[in-house]
Structure 1
Amino acid sequence: MPALIRRIPLLVVLAAALSASMFVPAIHAVVNDRHREAQAFFYAGTLLLALIGGIAIATVRTKPTNITRNHLIALLSVFTLLPALAAVPLTDIVPDTRALNLYVEMVAAMTTTGGSLFAADRLSDSVHLWRAMVAWQGGFVIWIAAIAILAPLNLGGFEVADGNVTRGADRIGGADGSDPVARLTRATMTLGPIYLGLTALLWGLLVASGERAVTGLIFAMSTLSTSGITNATSLGENGAGLGGEMLIAVFLLFALSRQLFSTDMNRDHIRNLAQDRELRIGAMLIALVTVVLFARHWVGALEVGALADTEAALGALWGSAFTVLSFLTTTGFESLHWQEAQQWSGLGAPSVLLLGLAIFGGGVATTAGGVKLLRIYALYAHGRREMALLVHPSSIVSGRAGARRIPSGGTEAAWVFFMLFATSIAGVTLALTLTGLEFETAMTLAIACLTTTGPLAEIVLGGPGAINVLPDAAKVVAAMTMVLGRLEALALIALLNPDFWRD
């Protein structure tokens, strides 16, 4: 059977997996006596599986001339075509809406952007569960694709990775890089149990902390996929409380570095983990921004005479740290104490700071979006070297570890990507303003979509469901931008390369 599955096109296999997962919210709806929703999910899943089964039979003997190219095209199709399949059961469940809204909603979920076009209380727990499941599967796809598809092409951040990172990817993907199918299969078999196990572990811990089962599952899948999708229950007000936030914070660390997913946690690996550049720069950013935010709130509290409230001060410190970590990993959860910190000091939310954190992004080969910390480090190291040359123009760099950290051409690749990212922000902002949006709203929405941090847009636009009031043209631009942010511009440029299409 596995050999037969490997002969089926990747997009067909992923579409079948998505269709089969519709039975999970169907079962949940039955248990909660929402039979109309259960029928919608069950019938949609059954009919789609039958249709996809026929397509699989028709394409099982197809032998593509370039499997790597087909996998990259399949990856693009996952985030453009599969959301249409995911929206099929919602057409009968969500009343008084249009197909465009449902499609954009599912694109936001599949690309792990999060956010919603609908108010949280308008959707049932079964629908929220489905949104989180779609995002969870989308996160798993991009995580596996980073190792098995993007790494061999030196895309997705691997263009600035050193030998240790690339060799780690080779161990997971398989030593034989010439066989993309075997590489994809090995990566799935190796990383799949880890992804599923971490999700189940966080779910169990949240439930043990007092959370409802369905809410805990939604938060667990949203944390591992960094989608930030929730149901009507907001973070911190749920049954798990502060303990739940701390658990989620621990699992958000997995979005800072791929090295944390390693199963070989021996002494040498732990020692190298302490020297991991992504973790170090991530920790530095979290500490620095948390201190700045806490100082800002402390000054505000000093002006309103609230310094004596020690509990509020500690809450402000935790709320700042958790929210900074959440937006750095492009998840977008807000701590309950984040709101308390603003009430303690009388200051508003620093939206520009959250936008900057999302642009930095998480680690390479994780479910986080943004520029990625490894590219930020490459630009930082290059800038430090250039500043040293201003002081010592004739200095010579030794061939020690510092020279081996960034491969040849890595700094140039990081700079090219950053310029493409900045250009994309400008282009998308311009496109959104042409649809009638104000500049601030357009720029925030552009950054939120490019960094796959949907809750950012909700913060600026006025909460969940506020995106629904945007013009249809703006929704289409936002959906396209989410796909661009998820795949990254370099991967799309590779598809436009004429040499890539020559057999």
Structure 2
Amino acid sequence: MRYGVIARILGLLMMVFSLTLLPPVVVSLIYDDGQAYAFLEGFGVVLLVGALVWWPNRGNSDDLRVRDGFLITSLFWIVLSLAGSVPFFFSSDPSMRYVDALFEAVSGLTTTGATVLTGLDALPESILWYRQQLQWLGGIGIIVLAVAILPMLGIGGMQLYRAEVPGPVKDNKLTPRIAETAKALWYIYVGLTIACALAYWVAGMTLFDAIGHSFSTVAIGGFSTHDASMGHFDSHAIKLIASFFLFLSGVNFALHFMAWNQRGPWHYFRDPEFRFYAGVMGGACVATVGILILTATYDPWHSLSNGIFQVLSIATTAGFTSADFHYWPSVLPVMLILMAFMGGCGNSTAGGMKAMRILLIYRQGAREIRRILHPNAVIPIKLGHRPVSDRILQAVWGFFSMYMVVFVVLLLINLAMGLDQVTAWTAVVATLTNLGPGLGEVSSTFQSMPDVTKWSGMAAMILGRLEIFTLLVLFTPEFWRR
């Protein structure tokens, strides 16, 4: 393990991250909300610690290995969460205990959207901006941004990219060079953010709210600048705009890249994961809207806008709310929470297990049923016209198994803390899938949860963001052997 080069990279990236604490200073000065010093102090602390880590290792230019990439990826999310918590802890409004400050930072950077804060409408604008900004930075993966920087520092970045990019197949690149890949991802990401912000602004949001909500929409984060989330605006247009960009952000960014390069949408419809993702979302929207109309929960127009928005918000793991969906007919809240297990497509900003894995699990199950009838038949599983190797299928089942094991362990921890069953299991779903809101006592905030639940929730958020194996591999003896 090359600890010197790992420390050098972590120090550099902490110093880069410290620069992200300066925009909230500008926001604080514009709105005169009294929190500028908290962000300046945070900037100084993060910059100093980063410099102290980097300086002794500044001359270390060894090449990274795959193991180093996994360690850096996991450590960087942890270190960056610690750095991101500093302004929350230093702020006077809100005044937060450290566990709450860290929970908010982890939730923001992992784009989970679970919060311990209430009274958002009365919070300083700089704090609100910072929360939204954290989600925007975390959405595409801070390590992917680092991949674009590392080649300029003389360090190859493919190891980091393979450890960070979600999905069952890790070796595909959009362009031959990893730096160009990272830049392509960021161009798409920034373009979607600008388009979303403009659409929100035209639909009636203030510029501040439009930018803030575009950050958390494209990141599929779910933080809002208002306690009522998207329901604050009471606008059908805003809910439909959010639904459109949530759907796009849940799509594999490689498909966006190919559609842009070839000036056409045909790659979307040829991709089996996209077709499965769109079909599931469309079917859930139809079912939800139909049930809302049949039960007279809303009039038809409100049923349409609230139903589509809430399905796409929960199923893509954004976690925005436009209504108290936990009071809807009981089948709907449970169905929506369960859909968060799938999330979006691989290589998107969504959480969950990803549509590709669910599709492969379904097809393998269907194959086993056919094998009962035809035990000697050779029945390949295909995506499009290409057969899927048994190695990938084994990896998918291994991931699913470990996901369920982690889920059960976290659930038992919450139950041991005295939480009721609905709160306990949805708190795990909300954090492990990076969804944010749950049911029961965590339908809006985690503020009343025991500290142990908050600590386990933070672990779940990072595990979910890194898709289990990237972090768990660090706990195996083989990883540390030479």
Superposition TM-score tier, normalisation by shorter sequence: 0.7 to 0.9
CA apart distance, 1:420? 1.3
| Residue 59 (structure 1) aligned with residue 53 (structure 2) | no
CA apart distance, 1:365? 1.5
Aligned equivalents of 2:81 and 2:352: distance in 1? 22
| Residue 461 (structure 1) aligned with residue 450 (structure 2) | no
* Equivalent pair of 1:256/1:329 in contact (CA under 8 Å): no
Aligned equivalents of 2:90 and 2:280: distance in 1? 45
| Residue 487 (structure 1) aligned with residue 466 (structure 2) | yes
| Residue 157 (structure 1) aligned with residue 167 (structure 2) | yes
Aligned equivalents of 2:384 and 2:191: distance in 1? 36
Aligned equivalents of 1:331 and 1:97: distance in 2? 24
- Which shifted more, 241-250 or 445-454? 241-250
Counterpart of 1:39, as a letter, is Y
The equivalences for 1:38-53 within 5 A come to 38-53=36-51
The equivalences for 1:144-293 within 5 A come to 144=144, 148-149=158-159, 152=162, 156-159=166-169, 166=171, 169-172=172-175, 174=177, 183=178, 185-232=179-226, 234-237=228-231, 241-252=235-246, 253-262=248-257, 265=260, 270-293=265-288
* Equivalent pair of 1:359/1:370 in contact (CA under 8 Å): yes
* Equivalent pair of 1:254/1:260 in contact (CA under 8 Å): no
| Residue 473 (structure 1) aligned with residue 452 (structure 2) | yes
SS at match of 1:206: helix
* Equivalent pair of 2:10/2:53 in contact (CA under 8 Å): no
1:138 corresponds to:
138
Which of 78, 81, 85 lines up with 1:83 in the alignment? 81
Aligned equivalents of 2:262 and 2:59: distance in 1? 47
Q: TM-score, normalised by structure 2?
A: 0.87
* Equivalent pair of 2:318/2:435 in contact (CA under 8 Å): yes
Gaps of 5+ in 2: 148-156
1:178 corresponds to:
none
Q: TM-score, normalised by structure 1?
A: 0.83
**CA deviation map 1:10-33 (0-9, x unaligned):** 322332232111111111111111
The equivalences for 1:380-391 within 5 A come to 380-391=362-373
- Which shifted more, 120-129 or 426-435? 120-129
Which of 292, 302, 317 lines up with 1:315 in the alignment? 302
CA apart distance, 1:380? 1.4
Which of 376, 380, 396 lines up with 2:358 in the alignment? 376
* Equivalent pair of 2:121/2:226 in contact (CA under 8 Å): yes
SS at match of 2:140: helix
CA apart distance, 1:218? 1.3
Aligned equivalents of 1:330 and 1:399: distance in 2? 28
Q: 1:426 to 1:453 in 2, by over 3 A?
A: same
- Which shifted more, 490-499 or 472-481? 490-499
Provide the aligned C-alpha RMSD in A.
3.1
Aligned equivalents of 1:9 and 1:27: distance in 2? 30
- Which shifted more, 438-447 or 260-269? 260-269
2:15 corresponds to:
16
CA apart distance, 1:230? 0.3
1:177 corresponds to:
none
Counterpart of 1:133, as a letter, is Q
Q: 1:450 to 1:463 in 2, by over 3 A?
A: closer
Counterpart of 1:288, as a letter, is G
* Equivalent pair of 2:135/2:216 in contact (CA under 8 Å): yes
